[in-house]
Every structure is written in C-alpha cells, then in structure tokens.
C-alpha cells in the first residue's frame, strides 16, 4: 500500500496555508488512492487525498489550481 510521506504532507499544508485555510480543517489520509481527490466535507473540513498514479509535484500543481477554483470560505481563518 502506498503511503503519503511526512514531507509530502508538509508541502500540502504549505499550499493550503497560502490559501489561508485553517490547518485543523485539513484532512490528509495517509493512504494514497488511485486518482486522489479533494472533497469539502459536511463538517467544514477539506479532505485531500494524494493519488498514487501521478507524480506528486505534478499533482500538487493541479491541487493549487483546484483550490483556486473552489469556494473555501467555510475553511478559511
């Protein structure tokens, strides 16, 4: 099973920090999924799943774009 490394989690949190998102509202599962994804959960948290079938840095750039397109007002400071 592929797992997210601590340095990858830190890069994700640095990215979400740039969007002024509260760290306690970010959920990053340690297990990777085929496609990965980003979901706004009902409890005003953001679940970010890292894909196992794509290079991390490439996916991180795509994540930046997706976050920019979402209404994240419920998870901002």
pLDDT value for 60: 97
CA 57 to CA 3: how far, in whole Å?
15
Q: Where are the domains of the chain?
A: 6-71
Helix (H, G, I), strand (E, B) or coil at 24: helix
Look up tokens 């959960």; give the residue. 41
Does 6 score more than 90 pLDDT?
Answer: yes
Does 14 score more than 80 pLDDT?
Answer: yes
pLDDT digits (tens, 9 = 90+) for 21-77: 999 999 999 999 998 999 999 899 999 999 999 999 999 999 999 999 999 988 876
pLDDT value for 31: 96
* 26-27/45-49 β-pairing: parallel
pLDDT value for 35: 87
pLDDT value for 74: 85
């Amino acid at each position: 099973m592929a797992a997210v490394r601590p340095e990858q989690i830190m890069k994700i949190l640095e990215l979400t920090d740039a969007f002024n998102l509260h760290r306690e509202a970010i959920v990053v599962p340690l297990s990777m999924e085929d496609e990965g994804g980003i979901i706004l959960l009902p409890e005003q948290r953001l679940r970010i799943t890292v894909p196992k079938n794509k290079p991390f840095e490439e996916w991180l750039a795509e994540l930046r774009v997706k976050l920019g397109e979402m209404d994240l007002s419920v998870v901002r400071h």
